[in-house]
């Protein structure tokens, strides 16, 4: 179905997951504090903030193609625990953390209803960085899974969002799912996400319109173009459902 709203013509919505539909920050906090306890450390908020900085730096290198995903998953914990003189094995820490994270799928209030309603008018797909098994588990346990026609993860694409190669993979997977000439129909797609560096930059690289979900009302300091900006699900509804 072609949806027209002023100058907007979309049939397909590409959704980021973490901090767009699922509260990744809350899930991450739960998983990381469990990890600290596992290694005999007190789960202080200051340690969580320190880990956030390390983790963010590693994933930014991944998005830029300067670090492999497997290295990100291990190095973030190796760096953190080495700073605290903890003899934690990176692989053990990653496995423990990954298991806890996969068990956590905390919906942002209104996300389920939004996807349900949008799926009645558009074809919905997930485009996400991360570990495939973890993202599949979280999407299913959240109850969002029935509303999406496909889930495309950087691990399986072997390229990170925002790289153009990631979206080439997405278009090819859509074609295999029966979508006719998806790459040539990019103008009918809208990418919705919270990250300027992976989502908005990714849409720019792929030639897809973007909707920056910005509930914290941050400033755009990344020199990346954005088609539209919203701060709430209600604004998404106003644009796409009315």
Extract long-range pairs of 234-237: CB within 8 Å, 24+ residues apart.
Answer: 236/114, 236/118, 236/192, 236/211, 237/114, 237/117
Q: Which of 16, 194, 199, 209 is catalytic?
A: 16
Active site residue 45: no
Q: Report the alpha-carbon angle 223-229-115, nearest 5.
A: 130
Biggest alpha carbon–alpha carbon distance for the chain: 59
Give the count of alpha carbons within 13 A of 234, CB side only.
Answer: 0
DSSP 196: I
Contact (Cβ atoms closer than 8 angstroms) between residue 209 and residue 10? yes
Quick check: 196 and 212 in contact, CB under 8 A?
A: yes
Let me know: does 186 contact 207? Beta carbons within 8 Å: yes
Would you name the residues annotated as active-site residues? 16
């Amino acid at each position: 179905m072609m949806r027209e709203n002023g100058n907007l013509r979309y049939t397909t919505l590409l959704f980021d997951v973490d901090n767009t539909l699922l509260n990744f920050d809350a899930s991450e906090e739960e998983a990381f504090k469990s990890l600290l306890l596992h290694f005999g450390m007190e789960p202080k908020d200051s340690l969580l903030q320190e880990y956030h900085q390390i983790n963010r730096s590693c994933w930014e290198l991944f998005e830029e193609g300067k670090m492999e995903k497997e290295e990100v998953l291990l190095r973030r914990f190796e760096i953190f625990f080495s700073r605290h003189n903890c003899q934690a094995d990176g692989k053990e820490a990653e496995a423990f953390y990954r298991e806890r994270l996969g068990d956590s799928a905390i919906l942002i209030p209104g996300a389920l209803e939004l996807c349900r309603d949008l799926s009645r008018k558009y074809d919905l797909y997930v485009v996400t960085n991360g570990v495939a098994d973890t993202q599949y588990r979280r999407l299913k346990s959240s109850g969002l899974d029935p509303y999406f026609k496909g889930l495309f993860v950087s691990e399986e694409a072997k390229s990170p969002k925002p790289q153009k190669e990631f979206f080439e993979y997405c278009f090819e997977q859509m074609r295999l799912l029966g979508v006719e000439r998806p790459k040539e129909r990019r103008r009918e797609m809208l990418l919705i996400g919270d990250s300027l560096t992976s989502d908005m930059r990714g849409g720019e690289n792929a030639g897809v319109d973007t909707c920056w979900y910005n509930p914290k009302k941050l400033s755009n300091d990344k020199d990346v173009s954005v088609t539209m900006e919203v701060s709430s699900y209600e604004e998404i509804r106003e644009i796409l459902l009315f």
